[in-house]
């Protein structure tokens, strides 16, 4: 469970934080440069989330 309750979207809308959306964004970026490892995208997402929670 993350300490990040909400995200403010570009439109200004407040939406619940969703870890899967972070994973998918990282994975899509990786695919664009030839990556295929969804598990690694999950590990990177967890690293990003830890950094956000620490600040």
Token look-up 């997402």 returns 45
pLDDT score recorded for residue 1: 66
pTM of the model: 0.85
Query: pLDDT by residue (tens digit) across 1-55?
Result: 679 999 999 999 999 999 999 999 999 999 999 999 999 999 999 999 999 999 8
Name beta bridge partners: 14: 8
Can you tell me the distance from the alpha carbon of 52 to that of 32, in angstroms, rounded to the nearest whole number? 25
């Amino acid at each position: 469970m993350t300490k990040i309750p909400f995200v403010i979207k570009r439109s200004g809308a407040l939406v619940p934080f969703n870890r899967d959306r972070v994973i998918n964004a990282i994975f899509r970026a990786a695919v664009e440069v030839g990556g295929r490892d969804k598990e690694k995208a999950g590990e990177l997402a967890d690293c990003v989330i830890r950094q956000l929670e620490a600040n």
